[in-house]
Structure 1
Amino acid sequence: MPHSLPYRVLLVLPDAAAGGGHLMNMRLADQLTRRGWVVDIALLFDRNEHSDYRENFSRLRFISLHADRRLKRVLLPLRLARLAREYHLVLAGLDLAATNYGYLAARIAKRPFVSWMHIAFDEHSQFVPQFSRKLSLWIYRRLTHIVFPSRGARDSLERALDGQPPSAQWHIIDNFHEVGRSAAVTATPPAHVFSQPVVLSIGRLSAQKAYDRLIRIHASLRNKGAPHHLVILGEGPERVRLQALAAALRVSDSIFLPGHVSNPQPWLSAATVFALCSLYEGLPLVLIEALQAGLPVAAMACPAGPREILDDGETGILVPADDETALESAITRLLTNPALRATYAERGKRKADAYSPETIVPQWESLLGNLIRNTSAHEVVTSP
């Protein structure tokens, strides 16, 4: 059937949690809305409510389905399908619950469906219940269109599935960074934190981010006489364990965990080095933000994304995955060599230009627009 703008997209998320994947979904929905699309966000569960989204992305409509109880979970595909009939296309913004429920709803509603994967799935799914992993793999084998933020993320799913299904059409679209986009007002970082050079990292305090590595590296460097502070912006379930580790290594007074910061730009601008030590990623938005801010990066080459963002070590120091000794050496080089920091800062800013909305969002418009125009789905039913 012929279509004309505005195209209507239902973007499915499990919740409104803080995190890079969620933030990218908000940014994409906002960018498409600014370009004339209608993109509404269906939140499946009430957990992890992060109110900044509603404030910072006021153009967007959030639809809460409140499916936290068992009966509502059972009925969720039907409820979501009824909602999906009001849209031309269903986009699942994350893996697992969003993709599983979104796919079932789109099938029932006879709407085209796209899954957006933000993580190295093969590695990530080792930490989820076996039933969830098996269900997700069953669904991914049946999906036609999946979007990945990096080649590494694509390769990770291919490993999990033992190959790309013959009928699948997989797409790689990079994440993007919006300079000065945040509407949140952030207080100037405390001066005493930056009384020494700062190694900064940003992310959820979770096992995936492996911040115990940075704490051990920080303690080692301090013991070797390298004065600096470690700052990790973010919140999560690992806070108590990380604080206990810092206390055991006697570095509590030089490690700062300020919690979630809506606008990290002042911290990025004031820091000396950015470090990433995750077990796995997808295409870490924080690395792009660090490059754009001119902050030199030292990162482990975990699956997936750091190698692509840092161009195999051209735009930042890349060390082998899981190699704490190599990461400590890279951080030391950057802390002690201003000329090296300046070199990587310049290269990083040039690379960050490739991740602008003007470059990335038209790729999404082309993909989603073509799927909508080429589908023979039923007419959109608009609620009274």
Structure 2
Amino acid sequence: MKRILFVINTLGGAGAEKALLELLKRFTPDRYEVDLYVLLGQGELISQVPDYVNILNRDYTAESVLSAEGKKELNRKVLRRLFIHRALLKNIPYLIKNTFSMLGRKKIYPDKFLWRIMSDSGMKLNKSYDMAVAYLEGGATYFVHDHVKARKKFTFLHVDYKYAGYSRGLDRDCYLDFDRIFTVSGEVKSVFDSVYPECRNKTFIFHNLIDREEIYRKSELPGGFSDTYTGKRILTVGRLTAQKAYEVAVDAMKLLKDQGIKARWYVLGEGELRNKLQQKIDSLGLKEDFLLLGAKENPYPYYKQCDLYVHATRFEGKSIAIQEAQVLGCTILVSDCSGNREQVENGTDGILCQLSPEDISRKIAELLGNEEKCREYGKKATVRISDEQGDILKLFEIV
């Protein structure tokens, strides 16, 4: 029986967390003894962890990390953790050094500082593992590197390393010590290789896992759009964060409305920008045209019922939302950025656009006006599926 540990920062309803749940299903209890440690002990997906996985957290909050109450609880946890194991005190030189480094690059990433402290204030594990897997960059990776005893250590990268604000100084070169590094896409790997060329030979692409049959099944369940709108429905799924560039989408919807195009844009997701986005929506007179519906436990009926799926973001690693839209045969429009351009082939199974209100609105208008082309893109999107089993074997063969 092999002993495996997975570590992730939080377990909220985002892409990496969903992909982890699918991966855990592959580690069956007849062959593996699996532990899971959620570094910050919070997230609503905890109920979806397989029963045979042992959750190590003694104090866990099932509240969403993006809800108002959940953010308050998370902030309280972070504040308490500053003083556990003297984590803040011993990292003062680290904080000073990296603050000056970020100032030199003219961009500060406060959350990146916290991950080192959260790692050092994590629980003490008195157990050795055959394999320890950090399933996210930042805190989970630091924790597995610094505080876990394991025969083999692996880590995952889900974002563009440079764009997200990481650096070798922040990481203290920890990636050099991992036995395997898995990136969710070729572009994520390429960027990481440019920063850590020494790790090139032990860095592999491991695509996000999705359960296609379960997505099909859930798409047939009751749910989806509940209004009586009869025009074209545009859908976007994702957290309300700066990365997702929703303010650009709102401006694009304003242009569509001014052009007399009958369409309504729906967003499934929560996040810290909700109030700011709603104010922008209201100020542009789009209350009935751009709707923030919040996070949905089952988003798949919405995918199935929409006329167009739009994912116009600043950057991605590999978007599970896009994968889900492809599985369900949606017509897809994505911004031409890292991650997105690897998932959609322009003019074949979807369309790429520039991240500007003008180009987004123009491409939306073209797609909504050509139903035959939309059907063709949707049909081809369903066959754009990665060889998931091959990815799994890369992990298993090392164990």
Distance 1:158 1:324, change over 3 A: farther
Q: Could you tell me which residue of structure 2 aligns to residue 360 of structure 1?
A: 388
Distance 1:35 1:125, change over 3 A: farther
1:246-265 aligned within 5 A = 246-265=281-300
Q: Could you tell me which residue of structure 1 aligns to residue 25 of structure 2?
A: 30
1:221-370 aligned within 5 A = 221-303=256-338, 305-320=339-354, 322-351=355-384, 354-355=385-386, 359-364=387-392, 366-370=393-397
Whether the aligned pair in 1 keeps the contact of 2:235 and 2:308 (CA below 8 Å) is yes
Q: Could you tell me which residue of structure 2 aligns to residue 113 of structure 1?
A: 153
Give yes or no for the alignment of 1:62 onto 2:55. Answer: yes
Q: Paired residue for 2:135, among 93, 96, 101?
A: 93
Unpaired segments ≥5 residues, structure 2: 60-76, 88-118
Distance 1:205 1:32 in 2: 32
Give, as a single letter, the amino acid of the residue that structure 1 aligns with 2:84.
K
Distance 2:185 2:359 in 1: 24
Identity %: 20
Distance 1:203 1:192, change over 3 A: same
Shift of 1:167: 7.0
Q: Paired residue for 1:175, among 208, 217, 232?
A: 208
Shift of 1:46: 2.7
Distance 1:14 1:55 in 2: 16
Give yes or no for the alignment of 1:103 onto 2:149. Answer: no
Give, as a single letter, the amino acid of the residue that structure 2 aligns with 1:330.
K
Unpaired segments ≥5 residues, structure 1: 1-5, 127-131, 373-384
Give, as a single letter, the amino acid of the residue that structure 2 aligns with 1:175.
N
Shift of 1:196: 2.1
Give, as a single letter, the amino acid of the residue that structure 1 aligns with 2:314.
L
Give yes or no for the alignment of 1:134 onto 2:169. Answer: yes
For CA contacts below 8 A with separation 6 or more, give which structure has more relative contact order: 1
Distance 1:35 1:220 in 2: 57
Shift of 1:41: 1.3
Q: Could you tell me which residue of structure 2 aligns to residue 379 of structure 1?
A: none
Whether the aligned pair in 1 keeps the contact of 2:130 and 2:152 (CA below 8 Å) is yes
1:207-218 aligned within 5 A = 207-218=242-253
Shift of 1:33: 2.6
Matched residue SS, 2:313: coil
Shift of 1:9: 1.4
Shift of 1:228: 0.8
Shift of 1:272: 0.5
Q: Which moved more, 1:171-180 or 1:11-20?
A: 171-180
Give yes or no for the alignment of 1:371 onto 2:364. Answer: no
Distance 1:294 1:101, change over 3 A: same
Calculate the TM-score normalised by the size of structure 1.
0.82
Distance 1:227 1:57, change over 3 A: farther
CA RMSD of aligned residues (A): 2.6
Regions of 4+ moved over 4 Å: 65-68, 73-81, 182-187
Matched residue SS, 1:282: coil
Distance 2:120 2:389 in 1: 29
Distance 1:166 1:195 in 2: 53
Distance 1:236 1:180 in 2: 29
Distance 1:35 1:300 in 2: 44
Distance 1:110 1:59, change over 3 A: closer
Distance 1:299 1:84 in 2: 45
Whether the aligned pair in 2 keeps the contact of 1:199 and 1:231 (CA below 8 Å) is yes
Shift of 1:35: 7.8
